[in-house]
């Protein structure tokens, strides 16, 4: 039980096969009381109701559009009212769009950057004051191998740019907030089998991608959840500003 008595907020944790949902389940199994914040409010409540029970109170789900500052603040207010101190924030929400540079419209750029990068800022801003008042906390931010290698398989250049921006933002927050006891780290997964790829991953593509992965398989949501657990827990008490690759060796650098 690595998170006994802790409270955790996870964005983008409503989708059934997603990384956020797997993380919420793992955190609850480790004793954390969890709040799921997702753009799909009903799915967030349903997902929270399905998590393993903990002694400190019910898990909760709230609607939150991470790209909207007012929505982030409202969700944070509701979560803090119910939980009191927030110990862990997982900035996991994200969307992708597999298009090429010349096909990125202004609207696409704004949307992809807003959800993947600006959302990390807005949600962090909404919870940092509470963490600071309560002696610190751990924030983990979702980036991607796409940020490191110049495109993954399903993200366009705007997605790579937004996920690379997350790395800089997280490192800067880590430097600024270390003195008040808030650690900030990032995760950079390779290709993880969730619904974010839609139906675009054909068996042929899958086989071709696996040829470039030393561990010879695609990632599972649980593989990333395990790293979030490490970053959320006191096992990583002396880790901040770090980037954790979770890619089966797809990118060794
Ligand atoms: P997913 O589609 O299952 O999960 C994304 C979740 O984010 C969904 O629950 C969705 O409702 C929610 N969401 C979307 N827009 C939102 C918004 N504006 N505000 C709040 N919630 C919103 O996909 P996933 O693969 O589990 O993705 C989780 C994160 O992991 C994303 O940030 C994604 O970019 C990142 N990632 C995924 C992979 C992969 O291969 N699956 C690789 C690297 C990084």
Contact 5, 31 (CB under 8 A): yes
The span from the CA of 215 to the CA of 249, in Å, is 7
Q: Is residue 203 part of a domain?
A: no
Per-position DSSP letters for 50-91, written without gaps between them: TSPP-TT---EEEE--TT-HHHHHHHHHHHHHHHSS--EEEE
Contact 166, 116 (CB under 8 A): yes
pLDDT at 141: 99
pLDDT at 211: 96
Q: Is residue 17 part of a domain?
A: yes
Please list the ranges in the chain whose pLDDT falls under 70: 152
The span from the CA of 154 to the CA of 20, in Å, is 18
Contact 45, 125 (CB under 8 A): no
Pocket flag, ligand 1, residue 48 (CB < 6 Å):
no
Range of the domain at 112: 7-190+219-246
- In a 10 Å sphere around its CB, with 0-12 CB exposed, 13-18 middle and 19+ buried, how is residue 102 labelled? exposed
* Helix, strand, coil share of the chain (percent; to 5): 50, 15, 35
- Regarding pTM above 0.95, the answer is yes
The CATH number of residue 82's host domain is 3.40.50.720
Q: Is residue 205 part of a domain?
A: no
Contact 91, 72 (CB under 8 A): no
Contact 184, 241 (CB under 8 A): yes
Contact 85, 64 (CB under 8 A): no
Mutate to test the pocket of ligand 1, among 47, 61, 94 (most ligand atoms within 8 A of CB): 94
pLDDT in tens, 147-178: 999 986 789 999 999 999 999 999 999 999 99
Q: Is residue 197 part of a domain?
A: no
pLDDT at 197: 80
Per-residue CA distances from 55 to 4, 6, 30, 83 (Å): 9, 11, 12, 13
Annotated active-site residue 159? The verdict is yes
Q: Is residue 124 part of a domain?
A: yes
Pocket flag, ligand 1, residue 195 (CB < 6 Å):
yes
- Which residue's alpha carbon is at the smallest distance from atom 12 of ligand 1? 12
The ligand 1 atom at the shortest distance from the C-alpha of residue 195 is 3
Q: Is residue 2 part of a domain?
A: no
pLDDT in tens, 53-85: 999 999 999 999 999 999 999 999 999 999 999
Pocket flag, ligand 1, residue 187 (CB < 6 Å):
no
Q: Is residue 195 part of a domain?
A: no
pLDDT at 200: 80
Q: Is residue 196 part of a domain?
A: no
The span from the CA of 171 to the CA of 177, in Å, is 10
pLDDT at 115: 99
Half-sphere exposure of 60 (CA within 13 A, CB side): 18
Give the total number of structural domains in the chain. 1
């Amino acid at each position: 039980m690595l998170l006994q008595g802790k409270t955790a907020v996870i964005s983008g944790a409503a989708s059934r096969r997603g990384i956020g949902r797997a993380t919420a389940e793992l955190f609850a199994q480790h004793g954390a009381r969890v709040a799921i914040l997702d753009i799909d409010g009903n799915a967030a409540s349903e997902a929270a109701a399905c998590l393993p029970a903990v002694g400190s109170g019910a898990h909760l789900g709230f609607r939150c559009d991470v790209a909207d500052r007012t929505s982030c603040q409202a969700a944070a207010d509701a979560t803090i009212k119910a939980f009191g101190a927030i110990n862990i924030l997982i900035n996991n929400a994200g969307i992708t769009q597999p298009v090429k540079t010349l096909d990125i419209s202004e609207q696409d750029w704004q949307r992809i950057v807003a959800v993947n990068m600006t959302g990390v800022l807005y949600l962090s801003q909404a919870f940092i004051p509470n963490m600071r008042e309560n002696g610190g906390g751990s924030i983990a931010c979702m980036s991607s191998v796409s940020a490191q290698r110049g495109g993954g398989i399903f993200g366009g250049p705007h997605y790579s740019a937004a996920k690379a921006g997350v790395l800089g933002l997280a490192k800067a927050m880590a430097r600024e907030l270390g003195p008040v006891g808030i650690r900030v780290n990032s995760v950079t997964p390779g290709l993880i089998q969730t619904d974010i790829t839609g139906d675009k991953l054909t068996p042929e593509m899958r086989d071709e991608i696996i040829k470039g992965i030393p561990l010879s398989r695609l990632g599972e949501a649980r593989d990333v959840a395990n790293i979030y657990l490490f970053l959320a827990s006191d096992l990583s008490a002396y880790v901040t500003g770090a980037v954790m690759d979770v890619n089966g060796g797809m990118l060794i650098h």
